[in-house]
Each structure stands twice: as structure tokens, then as C-alpha cells.
Chains A and B, each alone.
Chain A
Amino acid sequence: MKKPKVAFFDFACCEGCQLQIANFGEALFDILGMIDVVEFREVMSEKWNGQLDIAFVEGSITDFHAEERIRQIRERAAILIAYGSCAAIGGVNGMKNTFDLEEIRKYVYGPEYHFFATEKTKAIPQVVKTDYVITGCPVYPPEILVVIKAALQGTSCSPPDYPVCVECKLNENVCMYDRGVACLGPVTRAGCNSWCINNGNICYGCRGMISNPNERGAREVLEKHNIPLPFVVNKMNLYNKCRE
């Protein structure tokens, strides 16, 4: 079988999710044995302008130029994967949408701000048809492998639609609410194996919200612990502002 041609592209992001690939260490050789990486600017100067079997796209769309570029990538790619939270749900770049664009440009760049164009942040699925989504900030390495396998075999695969709490309970962590702090686990998509809580911190909601959260249950938890709803909504906006 001919190895599928795979490329990595990035838009507004930190490129940490691409780095997660390099962080596979020597196991990277096994992955490279299955695919033919033709473009991956984080580690390669080689360039490929032809058709792609799989395009990994990292980052959010934040200007017209980017929107044009992602449409071109979509045309070239049989399968397009939104890779990482910035691509999948807009991620931290979405916080910009809380502000007036003219005002925030002026704040960062001063009187010369007109040199620096920007548009409202959008996630990749808000601009082009997306075949697979790998969410997370950063992506969780075992999940990358699951989605790569599904994409190579042409089977369907999407991030779990149950909350982080499910995995957190299996990991026997003490609930953050019982430790006196608010956590976004109850409304956030699982699939990260409750990475942050296992390391003693709260869930910041980086993987996006589940489609049908138990709102009444969540409200009860907030009431019980005397946490105002706007406080938690503001926390959700850290990664999920683009949902609006």
C-alpha cells in the first residue's frame, strides 16, 4: 500500500500541539513508518504543493488572509483534521472576541495600530468542513494516535461527549469542589484522562464543552459551594468564547 501523504499547517496558535508530535521521542519512527510527511514546517524545509491525503491544521482563523489559506488547504486535502483547541474550538484566541477589535488593537500596538489587521477569532469548523477533531490545549498524545488510526482506516471518531468528571472519578481524584475551588470538569469533554486534576490543578475547560451538559446538576453543585454562575461562565470563556 502506498503511504498516505500527510501535511501539518498552522494558523494563530503557539504550535505546542505540533511540538507534541516531536515529543513522541523514538516512537516517532513508528508513526513515520505509516505515513509520508510531505510538509511540516516546524521541523521541515521541504514543501509539497500537490494533493494531500490528510491535512492536520493547528490554530484559529483570525484574519481574511488566513480564511483564504484554509479554504485552499481544504481543497487540496481529502481529510482535514482540526488539531488542538485553537483549531477545534477557537481556544484562548477566542478571548479576543470579548473586546472591541479596534480597542484591543490600539491597546497592544499603540497609535500605529492600523498596521495590524485582525478579525473575530473563528475555529476551523466554523470556516470549512472538518472531518476529524482532536481537541485539547495541548492535544493529549494517546488521542492523536487514536484519530490517526481512524483517519487511516476511514472509520469515524470524535472526542468523547461525556464530562472530564467521568475519567477523574476513575482516577480517584478528590473533587476540586470538595477542596473548595471551582473546576470545569463537569461541563468539559473528557478524553484527556483528567490530565490537569491528576496533577493537582483544576480543569480549565480546554477541550470544549460537552453538547448536552447536566445543567441542573452543575447548578446544584455551584449553589452547594456558593459559587456565582457568572464566575464559572467567565472561566468557560477562557477557551470557549468562540461557541457564541
Chain B
Amino acid sequence: MNKRNVVINVEYLTRVEGHGNIVVDVKEGTLEVCRLDIIESPRFFEGMLRGRSVFEAQHITSRICGICACGHTLASIQAAEDALGVTPSEQTVKLRRLLLHMELLDSHILHIYLLVAPDLLGVKSFIPLIDTHNKVVRRALRLKQTCNEICEILAGRHVHPISATVGGFTKLPKEKDLDAMRYMLEGMRPDMEATIELISKLKFPEFERDTEYVALVSDTEEYPLLSGDVGSTDGVRMHKKDYRSVANEFVVPHSTAKHAKLSREAYAVGALARLNLNYEKLHPHAREAASLLGIRPKCINPYLNTAAQLVECVHCLEDAAMLVEDLGKSGIRQEERILVALNEQSAIPVRAGNGVGAVEVPRGILFHNYEIDEQGTIVNANCIIPTTQNLNNIEHDMEKLVPELLDRSDEEITLALEMLVRAYDPCISCSTHLTSVRIQR
């Protein structure tokens, strides 16, 4: 056994919701401390929602995260509609699925190209890649821009969507918009193939740790992202209303984000969890991509979450193309356009209630829960974000990983840990900004 000392202190590992540090202390070959400290500035969204109308909840909670703004919007709307007893129309559900697909694509592309690829290519960011891999960077930005443009058609913009509200959409795509989306999605296919070719040639670190994977599951043939029960690879299946028994949140002093566990010491959510639970429901082209990238369920290498994201990109692209075809055939019912605002016109019947939204957003399952009074005012609110659920699992990965790497240099250990945290895509800035690495021997 390697009797060395290792002290790793990655300060200011920052993420969208705030900041974090990686702290590792090995004394004479024994791991004594291994933590992912989250020191973000709390923003108290759940507290601030109290007293606000449930009809503006989606507008407020979208501001929790600029990267998965559409996901928060959709989870919020689902919780509000559940509390109010509103059932969305078939057309609304299709448009929401389409919007969610575009966000998964956009976010995954950003993570794969701008956050993970620089590590695999041995540089600090995409900036040096502009010179060395110009076509690759252009392809990434082009793919992202297309996702954004489709979101613009669907909801006004991607960062903080405008027109998705309780009850439906405040604007609806016209026939020319459907044509534009069809054209743009078609145009993404060659870039997607090139992405698979690029990523399948890169080597991900080898590391395995068996854990419980949690994602939405359902009895339908659809890859569940917007509806279903909560399921796990340990055989759990619960209604989304029981989300608190899934997450079992607990507070730890070193983190301003709460921690979570289910059947064992920790669980993971995200693309890899979804793939492990719902592999058979992926589009055939996505399963082909999975085999090219070398992933099969149950895959327990957390570094391959990035590859699982690429598999999902293919699925989302193909399913989005199918949804647009579908909407084209049935035609968009423009009369479903809705204006709710704060429900001044009682466009939506209001009742007191308690509702839960469970949506698969880029980084995993997201829960929103609102309790509202008979005026539609929020009395209590609770949101459980995917990164919160993954923190505990990341720490357990780190605890297994560090002892396996003791024959490597401190720099290599640090990079392996940074890459591990990045693989979970905890939030964009977290994965890119790792500064002041201090190592003592």
C-alpha cells in the first residue's frame, strides 16, 4: 500500500447556483477527508415564492438556473397544474416535449464540447481549441445556436422562456415555423454524426463504482422525460407525489446544497441514470450511438455520463423531428393560444391544492412542489434540483477513486477529481472553473 500523504484543496469550484471546493486529505496512505464543499450563496427561492401567485411561479423559478431554465419552467408548470387540477391538451404536451428536447440537446452539447472535450484534449478551455480545432468549436456553437433558435420559435427564447405558462402557450408556431424547425433539425444530423465520431475516438478515464440510479420510469413506450413514476435500478418505484421519500434530504455543514439518499448510501441522477433505466426506450439511432460509444446498461462508470448525454442528444434530435412531423400532420390549433398572466380574467379555474412536478432536465430528475390556497397564492414551496441529489454520490465516488490513484502525481489526482465532478455536469461553471489548486506533500 502506498503510504504517502496527499492534500488537495481545489478552491472556488464555482457553479451556477454558487461556489464549491474539492477537499482531499490522505495521511500515510489513508483517506481521512474527502469532500465536495458547496459554499454557494443561498438564494432562498422556496422562501421567496411564498405569497406569490402560482401563475407567476414558472417565471420566478426559471431564474433558478439559466442553463435549464426551460426544465425549471416545465417542472413548475407541472406542479402548478397538478395543484390546480388542470390537464394540458395533447398539443400542449407535444410542444412541451419538443421544448424539453431542445434544452437537453443544448445543455448536453455545451457540456460535451465546451466543458469536457478540453479535458480530453488536454487544454484548459475551448479558447485554445479555436486555433487547433476550429471546425469542432464552430460545430459546437452552430449546434447550440440551432437549439436556441428552435427554442425561440417555441417559447420566445431559451434563457427564461416567455410563452410557456400554466394552461399552455401564449404563442403557437405557424406552419412556416414548423417548416423552419424541420429544416433546422434536419441540418443538425450531419453535425451530430460528426460529434459521435469525435467523441467515440476520445478516451474517458476508467473507473467503476456500483450505485443506485434514479430516473423517471413508465409503462409506455416513450423515453420518459416529462411524465412517469420515479424508479431506481434497485427496484424502487414510487409516485412522484412521494418525492420526499425518494430524496430523503439531509443537511451537512460543509454544503449550502442539501444531500440526498434512497435505498443505499447515495444515488445518482442524470443522463447515465436515465440510460440505465430506460435504454430499451431510446430511439434506435440513439442505441446505435450507444454501442459506438461503448455503453450498455448497467454502466457504472460515472465518467461515461458525458457519453450517455451524447446518446440522449441523438434520441432528442430524432424524437423532436418526429414530433414536428406529427404537429405538421395534425396542424397547429391556433385557438389553443392562451393568455393567463396572473389569471385576472379567470382563464384557469382556481382551487386550493398541493401539486408536484417531476421532470427529467439535463442533469437529472427535478422536483417542484407547491401548496396553494383557494386564491392560487403559494403557501409552501419546495424544489429539489438534480445537482443536490448527485452531491452525495459524487463524494462516494471520490472516496473510492482517490485510494485507486495514490501511485499517480498530485496533479493527475487533482485532474481526475475535477473531471469526475465535471462528468456529472453539476452546473456549467462548476465544471469549468477550478482554481487555486493547493497540494502539500
Contacts and interface: CB of A to CB of B under 8 A. Distances in A.
A107 B47 CA distance: 6
B59 to A, nearest CB: 6
Contact of B41 (A20, A37, A66): A66
Nearest to B418: A45
A42 B69 CA distance: 16
B198 interface: no
Nearest to A91: B63
Interface size class of B (residues with CB under 8 A): 35 or more
Nearest to B138: A26
A104 B41 contact: no
Interface size class of A (residues with CB under 8 A): 35 or more
B145 interface: yes
A138 B66 contact: yes
B42 A46 contact: no
Contacts of B141: 22, 24-26, 28
A151 interface: no
A137 interface: yes
B432 A42 contact: yes
Nearest to B428: A42
A92 B57 CA distance: 12
B170 interface: yes
Interface stretch (B151-159, B219-227, B352-360): B151-159
A157 interface: no
Contacts of B287: none
A10 B14 CA distance: 10
Contacts of B60: 92, 95, 238
A41 B433 contact: yes
B401 to A, nearest CB: 20
Interface in B317-364: 337, 339, 341-342, 344-345
A14 B339 contact: no
B342 A181 contact: yes
Interface in B290-307: none
Given A43-B432, A96-B47, A105-B44, A23 B144 contact: yes
A41 B14 CA distance: 8
Contacts of A95: 48, 52, 60
Contacts of A83: none
Interface stretch (A111-119, A124-132, A211-219): A111-119
12 contacts: A19-B66, A22-B144, A23-B145, A23-B148, A23-B158, A24-B145, A45-B124, A45-B125, A92-B48, A92-B60, A137-B63, A200-B171
Interface of B: 14, 16, 18, 41-44, 46-48, 50-52, 56, 59-60, 63-67, 69, 110, 114-115, 118, 124-127, 130, 138, 141-142, 144-145, 148, 155-160, 162-163, 165, 169-171, 251, 253, 256, 258, 337, 339, 341-342, 344-345, 427-429, 432-435
Interface of A: 10-20, 22-26, 28-29, 32, 37, 41-47, 62-63, 65-66, 91-93, 95-96, 98-99, 103-105, 107-110, 112, 115-116, 118, 137-138, 176, 179-183, 195-196, 198-202, 204, 227, 231, 235, 238
